[in-house]
Structure 1
Amino acid sequence: MTSTKLYTIIFAFLFVSATVQVLVEFAGLSYWLAFGLIMVLSAVKAVIVAAYFQHLRWEPRSLTYLVGIGLAAALALTLAASYSIL
Protein backbone atom coordinates (compact mmCIF):
# COMPACT_ATOMS: atom_id res chain seq x y z
CA MET A 1 0.00 0.00 0.00
CA THR A 2 1.32 3.41 -0.88
CA SER A 3 1.60 6.19 1.60
CA THR A 4 -0.91 9.03 1.52
CA LYS A 5 1.76 11.23 3.06
CA LEU A 6 4.11 10.56 0.13
CA TYR A 7 1.45 11.41 -2.44
CA THR A 8 0.55 14.57 -0.52
CA ILE A 9 4.18 15.68 -0.55
CA ILE A 10 4.43 14.97 -4.28
CA PHE A 11 1.20 16.88 -4.93
CA ALA A 12 2.48 19.85 -2.93
CA PHE A 13 5.78 19.82 -4.83
CA LEU A 14 4.01 19.69 -8.19
CA PHE A 15 1.69 22.52 -7.16
CA VAL A 16 4.57 24.71 -5.97
CA SER A 17 6.66 24.03 -9.06
CA ALA A 18 3.73 24.88 -11.34
CA THR A 19 3.26 28.12 -9.44
CA VAL A 20 6.98 28.89 -9.82
CA GLN A 21 6.68 28.29 -13.57
CA VAL A 22 3.89 30.85 -13.80
CA LEU A 23 5.89 33.33 -11.72
CA VAL A 24 8.91 32.83 -13.99
CA GLU A 25 6.72 33.58 -16.99
CA PHE A 26 5.60 36.91 -15.55
CA ALA A 27 8.91 37.86 -13.90
CA GLY A 28 10.22 39.70 -16.93
CA LEU A 29 13.34 37.55 -17.26
CA SER A 30 15.14 37.18 -20.57
CA TYR A 31 13.55 34.68 -22.93
CA TRP A 32 16.30 32.05 -22.72
CA LEU A 33 16.63 32.23 -18.95
CA ALA A 34 12.88 31.86 -18.48
CA PHE A 35 12.80 29.10 -21.10
CA GLY A 36 15.62 27.22 -19.37
CA LEU A 37 14.03 27.48 -15.94
CA ILE A 38 10.64 26.36 -17.20
CA MET A 39 12.18 23.42 -19.10
CA VAL A 40 14.15 22.26 -16.05
CA LEU A 41 11.07 22.48 -13.83
CA SER A 42 8.99 20.67 -16.44
CA ALA A 43 11.54 17.87 -16.74
CA VAL A 44 11.68 17.42 -12.97
CA LYS A 45 7.88 17.34 -12.78
CA ALA A 46 7.67 14.82 -15.63
CA VAL A 47 10.15 12.49 -13.93
CA ILE A 48 8.27 12.69 -10.62
CA VAL A 49 4.91 12.03 -12.27
CA ALA A 50 6.32 9.11 -14.24
CA ALA A 51 8.10 7.64 -11.25
CA TYR A 52 5.30 7.81 -8.73
CA PHE A 53 1.94 8.25 -10.46
CA GLN A 54 2.77 5.91 -13.36
CA HIS A 55 4.53 3.55 -10.93
CA LEU A 56 7.77 3.37 -12.92
CA ARG A 57 9.76 3.45 -9.72
CA TRP A 58 8.67 -0.11 -9.00
CA GLU A 59 8.88 -1.42 -12.59
CA PRO A 60 11.86 -3.17 -14.18
CA ARG A 61 14.65 -0.77 -15.19
CA SER A 62 14.29 -1.64 -18.89
CA LEU A 63 10.76 -0.21 -18.93
CA THR A 64 11.96 2.90 -17.11
CA TYR A 65 14.72 3.39 -19.69
CA LEU A 66 12.21 2.99 -22.51
CA VAL A 67 10.02 5.71 -21.05
CA GLY A 68 13.12 7.86 -20.50
CA ILE A 69 13.96 7.60 -24.19
CA GLY A 70 10.45 8.79 -25.02
CA LEU A 71 10.83 11.68 -22.61
CA ALA A 72 14.16 12.66 -24.17
CA ALA A 73 12.58 12.56 -27.63
CA ALA A 74 9.71 14.77 -26.49
CA LEU A 75 12.21 17.22 -24.99
CA ALA A 76 14.21 17.28 -28.22
CA LEU A 77 11.06 17.97 -30.25
CA THR A 78 10.07 20.75 -27.85
CA LEU A 79 13.49 22.36 -28.20
CA ALA A 80 13.32 22.07 -32.00
CA ALA A 81 9.86 23.65 -32.00
CA SER A 82 11.08 26.54 -29.86
CA TYR A 83 13.77 27.33 -32.42
CA SER A 84 11.21 27.37 -35.22
CA ILE A 85 9.13 30.00 -33.36
CA LEU A 86 12.00 32.48 -33.30
Structure 2
Amino acid sequence: MTSTRLYTAIYVVLFVLATAQVLIEQAGFLDEVYWTAFAAIMALSAVKALFVVGYYQHLKFEPRAVALVVFAGLLGALALTAAAAYSIL
Protein backbone atom coordinates (compact mmCIF):
# COMPACT_ATOMS: atom_id res chain seq x y z
CA MET A 1 0.00 0.00 0.00
CA THR A 2 1.20 3.48 -0.81
CA SER A 3 2.18 5.80 2.00
CA THR A 4 0.68 9.15 2.85
CA ARG A 5 4.11 10.70 2.42
CA LEU A 6 4.21 9.65 -1.25
CA TYR A 7 0.73 11.06 -1.94
CA THR A 8 1.69 14.31 -0.22
CA ALA A 9 4.87 14.57 -2.29
CA ILE A 10 2.91 13.98 -5.50
CA TYR A 11 0.36 16.60 -4.44
CA VAL A 12 3.16 19.12 -3.89
CA VAL A 13 4.66 18.33 -7.32
CA LEU A 14 1.24 18.79 -8.96
CA PHE A 15 0.78 22.08 -7.11
CA VAL A 16 4.18 23.35 -8.27
CA LEU A 17 3.49 22.34 -11.88
CA ALA A 18 0.09 24.05 -11.82
CA THR A 19 1.70 27.17 -10.37
CA ALA A 20 4.29 27.12 -13.16
CA GLN A 21 1.49 26.97 -15.73
CA VAL A 22 -0.25 29.96 -14.19
CA LEU A 23 3.01 31.91 -14.06
CA ILE A 24 3.62 31.23 -17.76
CA GLU A 25 0.20 32.62 -18.56
CA GLN A 26 0.38 35.57 -16.16
CA ALA A 27 3.83 36.60 -17.38
CA GLY A 28 2.34 37.30 -20.78
CA PHE A 29 4.29 34.64 -22.65
CA LEU A 30 1.12 33.56 -24.42
CA ASP A 31 0.95 37.01 -26.01
CA GLU A 32 4.63 37.23 -26.97
CA VAL A 33 5.88 33.75 -27.83
CA TYR A 34 2.64 31.84 -28.16
CA TRP A 35 3.86 28.49 -29.46
CA THR A 36 6.73 28.24 -26.99
CA ALA A 37 4.44 29.02 -24.06
CA PHE A 38 1.79 26.69 -25.46
CA ALA A 39 4.32 23.85 -25.74
CA ALA A 40 5.52 24.47 -22.18
CA ILE A 41 1.97 24.45 -20.80
CA MET A 42 1.11 21.28 -22.75
CA ALA A 43 4.27 19.54 -21.52
CA LEU A 44 3.48 20.47 -17.92
CA SER A 45 -0.09 19.25 -18.40
CA ALA A 46 1.15 15.92 -19.73
CA VAL A 47 3.46 15.46 -16.75
CA LYS A 48 0.62 16.31 -14.37
CA ALA A 49 -1.69 13.87 -16.13
CA LEU A 50 0.88 11.09 -15.86
CA PHE A 51 1.24 11.69 -12.13
CA VAL A 52 -2.52 11.68 -11.61
CA VAL A 53 -3.24 8.52 -13.57
CA GLY A 54 -0.14 6.77 -12.35
CA TYR A 55 -0.62 7.26 -8.66
CA TYR A 56 -4.04 8.65 -7.78
CA GLN A 57 -5.84 6.35 -10.24
CA HIS A 58 -3.42 3.49 -9.47
CA LEU A 59 -2.56 2.75 -13.11
CA LYS A 60 1.03 2.19 -12.09
CA PHE A 61 -0.09 -1.11 -10.58
CA GLU A 62 -2.46 -2.17 -13.41
CA PRO A 63 -1.67 -4.37 -16.42
CA ARG A 64 0.11 -2.58 -19.25
CA ALA A 65 -2.90 -2.91 -21.61
CA VAL A 66 -5.09 -0.81 -19.29
CA ALA A 67 -2.43 1.87 -19.10
CA LEU A 68 -2.14 1.94 -22.92
CA VAL A 69 -5.89 2.49 -23.29
CA VAL A 70 -5.71 5.45 -20.92
CA PHE A 71 -2.61 6.76 -22.72
CA ALA A 72 -4.46 6.62 -26.05
CA GLY A 73 -7.26 8.69 -24.52
CA LEU A 74 -4.73 11.21 -23.23
CA LEU A 75 -3.19 11.55 -26.69
CA GLY A 76 -6.64 12.07 -28.16
CA ALA A 77 -7.43 14.78 -25.62
CA LEU A 78 -4.10 16.50 -26.31
CA ALA A 79 -4.73 16.38 -30.06
CA LEU A 80 -8.19 17.91 -29.64
CA THR A 81 -6.81 20.62 -27.36
CA ALA A 82 -4.06 21.47 -29.83
CA ALA A 83 -6.55 21.56 -32.69
CA ALA A 84 -8.87 23.83 -30.73
CA ALA A 85 -6.01 26.17 -29.85
CA TYR A 86 -4.85 26.25 -33.47
CA SER A 87 -8.36 27.05 -34.73
CA ILE A 88 -8.60 30.07 -32.40
CA LEU A 89 -5.67 31.76 -34.12
Shorter-chain TM band:
over 0.9
Aligned AA for 1:67? V
How many pairs are equivalent? Answer: 86
1:32-82 Cα deviation digits (max 9, x unpaired) = 111111000000000110000000000000000010000001111111111
Distance in 1 separating the partners of 2:9 and 2:47: 15
Question: 2:80 matched to 1:77?
Answer: yes
Distance in 2 separating the partners of 1:72 and 1:32: 19
Of 24-33 and 8-17, deviating more is 24-33
Residue aligning to 1:34: 37
> Sequence identity, in percent?
62
Distance in 2 separating the partners of 1:16 and 1:8: 12
- Displacement of 1:28 after TM fit? 2.3
Distance in 1 separating the partners of 2:21 and 2:73: 23
Distance in 2 separating the partners of 1:74 and 1:17: 19
Question: 2:55 matched to 1:52?
Answer: yes
Answer 1 or 2: higher relative contact order, Cα 8 Å, separation at least 6. 2
Question: Could you list the runs of 4 or more consecutive aligned residues of structure 1 that deviate by over 4 angstroms after TM superposition?
Answer: none
TM-score scaled by length of structure 1: 0.96
* RMSD of aligned Cα (Å): 0.7
Question: 2:13 matched to 1:24?
Answer: no
Distance in 1 separating the partners of 2:78 and 2:18: 18
Residue aligning to 2:68: 65
